[in-house]
């Protein structure tokens, strides 16, 4: 059993230490909150079920009856809520003999930081594993694939030819998003909202989207994406993405990338009766996943 004792922090028992470091750092806003749409949950799991809708209306002759269509149920995505937790125990002696700030206060800050990092990793892994066929969604395919099955045939949310981030590749993907169809083959008029990339692509992404003229050329052509107001959410750089070449575009498709919150972060503390150890713990319950795969398009890089 891991317990912080007087031997864990011997320097805290004697005067002379100017400052302890490494306990907490300035925290930036949670990126997973910018990438995933939040949904609340009050059950062990939630299901997101596709509705296929209707097809195009056929022409009706003057004396003929109107045609009828069936609105069917498509695939189901189930997101199981998972509890994440971490705790710390501190002996009464370690607290009593400490010459500086409260050990307990330092531990609670570290626990909060660990829980934040855990959540960022959990959600970033949805994209990190997005091209991996070992991690499948409700339609039996990985998040990003060229052959998602639908009633109107296979559809794709991945570039047909994998490409590194560039102006041309970004334009190709934005065009693909505009041409997206629902399960019955009807146009959805989706729009790309924000570009998501790893730190290695931060400078290239900024040049592509912020240049007044075409990036990286001597041409006097305008930056069409900027002129048209595409990707209004700009660039989101996520430090927790593990593939430096992979990049993604979040769309305005509802029920796409899902951040399902069962209960928010809870910090509690108590004392153990037998040992008098001070105990503290942090818990949070949530699920990461997706409903409609059209919520994100991407490329693993060349």
- Residue 104's pLDDT is 47
Query: Rounded to two decimals, what is the model's pTM?
Result: 0.85
SS3 state at 247:
strand
Total residues belonging to the chain: 302
- Residue 278's pLDDT is 81
Q: Say how far apart CA 286 and CA 32 lie, in whole Å.
A: 12
- Residue 274's pLDDT is 85
- Residue 25's pLDDT is 53
Give burial (CB, 10 Å; 0-12/13-18/19+) of 246.
Answer: buried
| Domain residue ranges in the chain | 33-52+75-299
Fold of 33-52+75-299: phage-related protein like fold (3.90.1690)
- Residue 213's pLDDT is 73
Residues 199, 243 contacting (CB under 8 angstroms)? no
Name the stretches of the chain with pLDDT < 50. 6-7, 9-21, 99-101, 103-104
Beta strand 257-271 with 278-290: parallel, antiparallel or unpaired? antiparallel
């Amino acid at each position: 059993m891991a317990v912080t004792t007087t031997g864990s922090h011997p320097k805290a028992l004697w005067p002379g230490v100017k400052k302890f470091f490494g306990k907490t750092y300035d925290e930036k806003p949670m990126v997973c909150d910018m990438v995933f749409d939040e949904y609340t949950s009050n059950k062990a799991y939630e299901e997101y079920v596709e509705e296929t809708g209707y097809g195009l209306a056929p022409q009706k002759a003057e004396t003929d009856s109107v045609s009828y269509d069936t609105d069917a149920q498509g695939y189901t995505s189930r997101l199981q809520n998972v509890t994440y937790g971490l705790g710390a125990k501190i002996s009464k002696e370690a607290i009593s003999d400490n010459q500086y700030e409260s050990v307990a206060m330092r531990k609670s800050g570290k626990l909060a930081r660990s829980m934040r990092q855990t959540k960022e990793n959990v959600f970033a892994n949805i994209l990190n594993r997005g091209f991996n066929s070992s991690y499948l969604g409700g339609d039996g395919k990985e998040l990003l694939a060229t052959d998602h099955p639908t009633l109107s045939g296979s559809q794709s949310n991945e570039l047909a030819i994998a490409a590194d981030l560039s102006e041309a590749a970004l334009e190709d993907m934005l065009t693909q998003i505009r041409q997206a169809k629902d399960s019955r083959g009807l146009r959805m008029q989706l729009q790309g909202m924000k570009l998501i990339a790893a730190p290695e692509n931060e400078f290239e992404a900024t040049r592509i989207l912020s240049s007044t003229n075409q990036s990286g050329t001597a041409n006097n052509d305008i930056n069409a994406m900027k002129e048209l107001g595409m990707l209004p959410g700009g660039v989101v750089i996520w430090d927790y993405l593990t593939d430096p070449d992979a990049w993604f575009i979040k769309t305005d498709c509802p029920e796409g990338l899902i951040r399902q919150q069962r209960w928010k972060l809870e910090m509690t503390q108590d004392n153990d009766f037998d040992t008098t150890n001070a105990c503290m713990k942090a818990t949070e319950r949530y699920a990461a996943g997706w409903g409609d795969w059209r919520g994100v398009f991407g490329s693993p890089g060349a």
